[in-house]
């Protein structure tokens, strides 16, 4: 068909507009699909992992040293609503030769929270050997068949590595809560059969019960209280680090996925509407000619609607490809998410509705072309043939002021042009706005995280070494160690307030090695007259200094009533801080968990020391965490800049095309190329400045919202450095000027002779 030839040639004629529209849609759909595929993939892959391994629903911890007896497990199993239950022992061991911590698991039965086999033999309780985490093994050059020795207390468990495995409970494997990021090479986990363990140590103790049940936590707690004689602590999935981290990562993804891509998608669609309308206006004469030649309206409309469809389909397809590419950068066993999670499955999935939204967008674009063409075809063929009458220019209010007469002609021209092409101006403005919002939010996120780490390491942690105390250590020897190293200490207890677990931290910080900070990140002194609750608890319970709160300690029946002395910022756990002296007054006693000191401690010199880590080590693990953040931020910032460039370029070309004749006139009259270039750049700079002014506070608001959504995990605050504003300003301005120069460069090629002829 001849019209097909025309289609091809028209596409060529408007190639820069069509290419930029396709780019816009690719970018919009790409970010949309990519960000939603990120969480969807994590969810689908982790769910598959949980299902495959029959991941536990509840964890029951014993509060006494004897753990759970055979009777206990039978009672739990007989509780109505408990589908499966199994005992487990988890102890921290040290792997011989490497001196790294390996968490050792012993299951009395193998039903719940099973392993995913990577290589070697599957777990078998009749076999004598050890099943080791594959990632830890790889990073420490341990292979199948090697003999490893795990030291626990005075025992040495020597066994052959029979299989390399992954376990969902260690998907996000951190040794303790001071660590933000897993270090797969420093912390591993292993499984041995109950017989193997018993043969070496001579005892059979299980400190946990894993339960599969469909009951709610409250119901199950009530039932277990009836069934068991001892006090226990029941935790559900979301209170377990691996599950909670994955859940919050998915939640985070949903938040980002619902917010950021909308900005991209909206700008893409809005730009499309403007551009498509402008193109049909430019094509009005062609449209009229076809009509005059006798083509039916329907055929012409179909022809022009096809442009929208064509651009939409190409853009959407490229966008989906880009989305999955983007997603693969994040959801990847070797990069970003891979440094957090140890999972066997890393397949990518996009939510079904993202395809529906994408398809709807393509249809909408087609519909936009349809409407714009229909608009041009109104009335008779003769009317259609007439060029679109330009909108009447209205006198603006500011023209009545004295100032107006003193403005240069370029300024007047640009102001009138802005008001005449309100839609186009609005689009450019929105493009800049989106770019600025995204840049401020992304860079602000980095500022916030840096400030957060700064506070952590400059204000809170003032020590060189953190000494982890082994469980069940002798109090005398711990006390003597504290004295000999001039250390500050913290003890931690799990407490129950209104049915939810929180942390009670008892501090003895007299050596200025560990600090507590308040809401404004100021270091405060922990006085001996009450408890300091963290911001999240203060908000949840609606308490302030002077109020009272009460809690129970797990494993004890007494209820403690304490006065709130102040509100503090607890960066990670939801916790209450009290001084050791105040704890004694209230009759609360707990073993020291950690000693902070500036003296070097050799862990092999003391039985009570589990591990010594330097502050530097801990900072290094945070750095990994930051690295992931940076990569995320770079992706968003790059996307924001591309967005800015494409929108501004597209609209710039449009504005240039529309003013072509006027520019040619100026040139004929004697304006130099540079002077005309300056006119064009001027307008873009105005719009850019307006976009920046509005965008900066909006970006700040977006950041505050994103941080508030993440606040479940950490007690964060928003921080945007002035450098971020300066950088955003310069980057956006740079983009704007660059695009303007590209377009201004075109005026060298204005054909004055052609342009002076009449409208064709």
Give the footprint of another protein on this chain (CB under 8 A): 390, 392-393, 395, 408-410, 412-413, 416-417, 420, 661-662, 664-673, 675, 748, 752-753, 756-759
Give, in order, the Cα–Cα distances in Å from 229 to each of 68, 223, 526: 11, 12, 38
Output the smallest distance, CB 675 to another protein, in A.
7
Own/partner pairs, 212-215, CB within 8 angstroms, 24+ separation: 212/54, 212/56, 212/57, 212/58, 212/82, 212/83, 212/84, 212/85, 212/111, 212/112, 213/57, 213/58, 213/81, 213/82, 213/83, 214/57, 214/81, 214/83, 215/81, 215/82
Q: What would the two tokens of residue 677 be?
A: 């270039």
Find out whether 118 and 344 touch, Cβ atoms under 8 Å: yes
Find out whether 166 and 115 touch, Cβ atoms under 8 Å: yes
Output the smallest distance, CB 660 to another protein, in A.
12
Nearer to another protein, 262 or 393 (CB): 393
Output the smallest distance, CB 338 to another protein, in A.
57
DSSP assignments along 590-620, one per residue: --EEEEEESS---GGG-TTEEEEEEHHHHHH
Tell me the β-bridge partners of 717.
none
Output the smallest distance, CB 288 to another protein, in A.
19
Helix (H) or strand (E) holding 701: helix 673-710
Nearer to another protein, 205 or 285 (CB): 285
Output the smallest distance, CB 291 to another protein, in A.
24
Nearer to another protein, 396 or 701 (CB): 396
DSSP assignments along 482-500, one per residue: HHHHT-EEEEEEEEEETTE
As a whole number of angstroms, the distance between CA 189 and CA 133 comes to 6
DSSP-assigned letter for residue 748: G
Cα 172 to the center of its chain, rounded Å = 16
CA-nearest of 115, 102, 196 to 158 is: 196
Phi, psi of 703 (to 5 degrees): -60, -45
Output the smallest distance, CB 748 to another protein, in A.
8
Output the smallest distance, CB 4 to another protein, in A.
25
Nearer to another protein, 556 or 665 (CB): 665
Convert 719-747 to b/e letters by CB count within 10 Å (16 or more is b). bbeeebbeebbebbbebbeebbeebbebb
Q: Is 87 helix (H, G, I), strand (E, B) or coil?
A: strand
Nearer to another protein, 81 or 387 (CB): 387
Q: Are strands 155-166 and 130-133 parallel, antiparallel or unpaired?
A: parallel
Output the smallest distance, CB 397 to another protein, in A.
15
Q: Is 279 helix (H, G, I), strand (E, B) or coil?
A: helix
Kindly report the number of other CB atoms within 10 A of residue 562's CB atom. 22
Output the smallest distance, CB 756 to another protein, in A.
5
Nearer to another protein, 392 or 483 (CB): 392
| 21 Cβ contact partners less than 8 Å away, ≥ 6 residues apart | 271, 272, 275, 311, 315, 650
Nearer to another protein, 98 or 412 (CB): 412
Helix (H) or strand (E) holding 451: helix 422-454
Nearer to another protein, 297 or 399 (CB): 399
CA-nearest of 131, 377, 256 to 705 is: 256
Nearer to another protein, 683 or 740 (CB): 683
CA-nearest of 438, 466, 434 to 599 is: 466
Q: What would the two tokens of residue 413 be?
A: 């021209």
Output the smallest distance, CB 408 to another protein, in A.
7
Nearer to another protein, 334 or 395 (CB): 395
Nearer to another protein, 38 or 658 (CB): 658
Q: What would the two tokens of residue 340 be?
A: 């957090």
Phi, psi of 328 (to 5 degrees): -65, -30
Output the smallest distance, CB 657 to another protein, in A.
15
Sign of CA dihedral 686, 690, 696, 698: negative
Nearer to another protein, 539 or 751 (CB): 751
Output the smallest distance, CB 754 to another protein, in A.
10
Nearer to another protein, 353 or 419 (CB): 419
Output the smallest distance, CB 694 to another protein, in A.
25
Q: What would the two tokens of residue 327 be?
A: 């997603």
Output the smallest distance, CB 716 to another protein, in A.
50
Output the smallest distance, CB 665 to another protein, in A.
4
- Token pair 């119901």: residue: 219
Nearer to another protein, 244 or 285 (CB): 285
Burial label for 48, CB within 10 Å (0-12, 13-18, 19+), is middle
Find out whether 696 and 416 touch, Cβ atoms under 8 Å: no
Sign of CA dihedral 328, 333, 335, 336: positive
As a whole number of angstroms, the distance between CA 650 and CA 634 comes to 24
Output the smallest distance, CB 757 to another protein, in A.
7
Output the smallest distance, CB 352 to another protein, in A.
49
Tell me the β-bridge partners of 161.
130
Nearer to another protein, 202 or 758 (CB): 758
Nearer to another protein, 438 or 750 (CB): 750
Burial label for 279, CB within 10 Å (0-12, 13-18, 19+), is buried
Convert 384-409 to b/e letters by CB count within 10 Å (16 or more is b). beeeeeeeeeeeeeeeeeeeeeeeee
Nearer to another protein, 408 or 708 (CB): 408
Helix (H) or strand (E) holding 531: strand 531-534
Nearer to another protein, 407 or 451 (CB): 407
Find out whether 714 and 535 touch, Cβ atoms under 8 Å: no
As a whole number of angstroms, the distance between CA 301 and CA 313 comes to 18
Tell me the β-bridge partners of 235.
59
Output the smallest distance, CB 301 to another protein, in A.
30
């Amino acid at each position: 068909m001849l019209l097909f030839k025309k289609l091809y040639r028209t596409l060529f004629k408007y190639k820069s507009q069509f290419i930029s529209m396709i780019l816009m849609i690719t970018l919009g759909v790409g970010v949309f699909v990519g960000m939603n595929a990120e969480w969807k993939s994590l969810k689908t892959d982790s769910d598959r992992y949980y299902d495959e391994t029959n991941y536990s629903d509840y964890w029951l911890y014993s509060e006494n040293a004897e753990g759970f007896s055979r009777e206990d497990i039978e009672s739990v199993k007989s509780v109505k609503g408990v589908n499966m239950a199994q005992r487990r022992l988890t102890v921290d061991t040290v792997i011989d030769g490497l001196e790294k911590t390996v968490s050792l698991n012993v299951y009395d039965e193998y039903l719940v929270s099973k392993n995913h086999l990577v290589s070697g033999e599957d777990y078998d309780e009749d076999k004598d050997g050890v099943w080791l985490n594959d990632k830890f093994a790889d990073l420490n050059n341990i292979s199948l068949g090697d003999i490893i020795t795990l030291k626990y207390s005075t025992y040495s468990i020597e066994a052959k590595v029979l299989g390399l495995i992954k376990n969902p409970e260690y998907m996000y494997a951190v040794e303790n809560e001071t660590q933000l990021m897993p270090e797969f090479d420093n912390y591993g986990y292993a499984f041995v059969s109950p017989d193997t363990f018993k043969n070496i140590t001579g005892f059979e103790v299980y400190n946990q019960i894993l339960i599969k049940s469909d009951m709610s936590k409250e119901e199950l707690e009530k039932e277990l209280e009836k069934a068991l004689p001892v006090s226990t602590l029941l935790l559900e999935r979301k209170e377990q680090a691996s599950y909670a981290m994955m859940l919050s990562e998915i939640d985070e993804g949903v938040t980002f996925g619902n917010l950021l891509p909308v900005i991209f998608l909206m700008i893409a669609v809005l730009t499309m509407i403007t551009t498509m309308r402008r193109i049909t206006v430019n094509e009005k004469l062609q449209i009229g000619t076809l009509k005059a030649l006798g083509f039916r309206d329907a055929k012409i409309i179909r022809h022009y609607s096809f442009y929208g469809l064509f651009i939409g389909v190409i853009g959407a397809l490229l966008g989906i490809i880009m989305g999955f590419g983007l997603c693969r950068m994040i959801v990847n066993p070797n990069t970003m998410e891979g440094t957090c999670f140890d999972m066997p499955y890393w397949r990518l999935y996009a939510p079904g509705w993202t395809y529906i939204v994408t398809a709807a967008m393509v249809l909408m674009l087609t519909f936009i072309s349809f409407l714009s063409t229909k608009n041009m075809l109104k009335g008779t063929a003769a009317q259609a043939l007439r060029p679109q009458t330009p909108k009447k220019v209205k006198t603006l209010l500011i023209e009545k002021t004295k100032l107006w007469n003193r403005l240069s002609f370029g300024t007047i021209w640009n102001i009138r042009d802005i008001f005449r092409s309100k839609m186009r101006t609005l689009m450019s403005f929105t493009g800049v706005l989106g770019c600025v919002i995204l840049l401020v939010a992304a860079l602000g996120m980095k500022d916030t995280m840096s400030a957060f780490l700064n506070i952590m390491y400059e204000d809170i942690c003032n020590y060189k070494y953190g000494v982890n105390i082994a469980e069940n250590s002798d109090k005398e020897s711990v006390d003597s160690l504290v004295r000999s190293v001039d250390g500050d200490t913290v003890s931690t207890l799990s407490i129950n307030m209104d049915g939810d677990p929180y942390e009670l931290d008892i501090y003895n910080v007299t050596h200025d090695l560990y600090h507590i900070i308040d809401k404004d990140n100021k270091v405060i002194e922990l006085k001996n007259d009450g408890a300091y609750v963290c911001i999240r608890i203060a908000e949840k319970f609606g308490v302030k200094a002077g109020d009272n709160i009460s809690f129970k300690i797990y494993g004890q029946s007494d209820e403690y009533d304490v006065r709130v002395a102040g509100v503090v910022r607890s960066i990670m756990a939801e916790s209450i801080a009290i001084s050791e002296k105040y704890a004694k007054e209230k009759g609360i006693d707990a073993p020291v968990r950690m000693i902070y000191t500036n003296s070097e401690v050799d862990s092999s010199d003391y039985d009570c020391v589990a591990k010594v880590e330097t502050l530097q080590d801990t900072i290094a693990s945070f750095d990994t965490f930051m690295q992931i953040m940076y990569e995320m931020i770079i992706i968003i910032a790059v996307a924001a800049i591309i967005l800015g460039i494409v929108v501004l370029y597209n609209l710039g070309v449009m504005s240039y095309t529309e003013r072509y004749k006027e520019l040619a006139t100026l040139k004929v009259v004697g304006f130099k190329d540079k002077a005309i270039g300056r006119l064009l750049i001027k307008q873009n700079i105005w719009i850019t400045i307006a976009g920046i002014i509005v965008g900066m506070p909006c970006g700040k608001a977006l950041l505050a919202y994103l941080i508030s959504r993440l606040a479940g995990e950490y007690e964060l605050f928003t921080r945007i450095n002035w450098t971020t504003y300066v950088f955003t300003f310069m980057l956006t301005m740079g983009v704007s000027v660059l695009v303007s120069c590209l377009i201004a460069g075109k005026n060298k090629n204005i054909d004055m002779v052609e342009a002076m002829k009449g409208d064709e």
